[in-house]
A and B are shown apart, each in its own frame.
Chain A
């Protein structure tokens, strides 16, 4: 698999590899974080979320890790597939109440080659 320590605008992986996309958030008051996938010309699609009282949450083929000490969030995609190619955004709520407006981070474009 391929991982990045700091945010990179693009990530290229081979089909079947594991992908790790990183995100640094800015607001220490944020207690709710979400990863979204956005395909070209479409709106963001919810992938997985995590609250600040957790440091790890798993979904189907995806895992989100939260490190509040360094304000870092990562998305791990197992066995990456060509259909995973998209732009991935992390988002934070910036406040204590989940469901309020989200603040989006810089996206990472994931390209999966067969």
Chain B
């Protein structure tokens, strides 16, 4: 299957700082990528849909000014958690579409102190 690379795999930051997470489709172009969030022992919750060259579409209850998404190329989408707080600590996972199938990155564990 297609490979989606997510970086970093884990990050620890201080409260109030911003963190950027990258999602790359390595061997295919992805016009659409998705960002999910997962709390311990819970399911994946869709945060937003990232479209290359246009604004992201956010799910209800997700603050677009808090979670900035940039999909500047066909192989890269970034999620920036701005002014992170401890409640933003979570596992963030991206996925990219190739044809009709979705492939997932390995996730980023964010811990905000």
Contact = CB atoms under 8 A, between A and B. Distances in A.
B104 A45 contact: yes
Given A43-B6, A43-B93, A99-B101, A106 B44 contact: no
A98 B100 contact: yes
Contacts, number: 52
B111 interface: no
Nearest to A97: B100
A103 B91 CA distance: 17
Question: Main SS of the interface on chain A?
Answer: loop
B37 to A, nearest CB: 11
Contacts of A45: 104
Interface centre among A34, A45, A102, by most chain B C-beta atoms within 10 angstroms, is A102
A43 B43 contact: no
Size bracket, chain B contacts:
20 to 34
- Interface majority SS on B: helix, strand, loop or mixed? strand
- Which of B6, B44, B101, B107: most chain A CB closer than 10 A? B44
Contacts of B103: 46
A44 B100 contact: no
A108 B100 CA distance: 25
A28 B52 CA distance: 30
B109 A41 contact: yes
Interface residues on A, range: 20 to 34
Interface string B41-81: 01111100100000000000000000000000000000000
A103 B6 CA distance: 21
B102 A102 contact: yes
A107 B107 contact: no
A15 B43 CA distance: 26
A43 B46 contact: no
From B36, B43, B45, B109, residue with most partner A Cβ within 10 Å = B43
Interface of A: 32, 34, 36, 41-46, 49, 89, 98-107
